[in-house]
Amino acid sequence: MTSERPSLDLEQARHNMVEQQIRPWEVLDQSVLDLLLTVRRELFVPPAYRLLAFTDMEIPLRVDGVDTGECMFAPKVEARLLQELGIRAHEHVLEVGTGSGYMAALAAHKAQHVLTVEINPLLAAFGAANLEGNGVRNARVETGDGARGWSARAPYDVIIISGGLPMLPPELLAQLKVGGRMAAIVGEPPVMSAQIVTRVTDAAYETLRLFETVAKPLTHAMRPPRFRF
């Protein structure tokens, strides 16, 4: 656990993020709001962007001078997805797209265990270091292509897709337990929506559309077939 103490300015910025961005985005679950005040987002942001940790924007993941081309979701998106998933203490979570490790850290505070998969080795190492440095012991980072899930550890209670998906791969849906939930941003720019998909039976799923947004697609994300004439 890091011993660095946050400054009063950082604490004010964190408070402002919750009150001015998160609450107006229909995030009212007190346990989620408390997490956002507890898990120190600035310690997951690349150092060059640390002063932007609490702004309403996607933060570029530039690591060791390398622009990975990836970004952290805006704080309100992370918070809303976390609230709608309703992760419980006995549940096992898969995240696809570790990035900075921040979303995995939030989920780990609610879940029994989080497995987070990252295709970019540089980001996998960055996320793993952030999780370890912030005392998150129940999250594990594995390097690989999770665009169609991570079947070796399936099934999961919760799946979080930290990136865009043009469509939901059947293989990914099949890795949810009955009663399990998936958070994903689905579609293609400019028409994408954040969704919670719940597996209600072995063969049936229900979809709750939350809000419209845009997210860069996962590397190797499945795309719908194109019509040919």
| Helices H / strands E in the chain, number of each | 6, 9
Q: Which domains, ranges and CATH numbers included, belong to the chain? A: 8-212 (3.40.50.150)
* Mean pLDDT in residue range 24-33: 97
pLDDT in tens, 91-109: 999 999 999 999 999 999 9
Half-sphere exposure of 40 toward its Cβ, with a 13 Å CA cutoff?
A: 20
Radius of gyration of the chain, Cα coordinates, nearest whole angstrom = 17
Q: Which residues contact 193 (CB under 8 A, 6 or more apart)?
A: 185, 186, 187, 209, 210, 211, 212, 213
| Angular region, 69: left φ>0, alpha ψ -120 to 50, beta rest | left
**Entry pTM:** 0.94
pLDDT in tens, 37-60: 999 999 999 999 999 999 999 999
Q: Quick one: which H or E segment has residue 156?
A: strand 156-165
Is 150 in contact with 144 (CB distance < 8 Å)?
A: yes
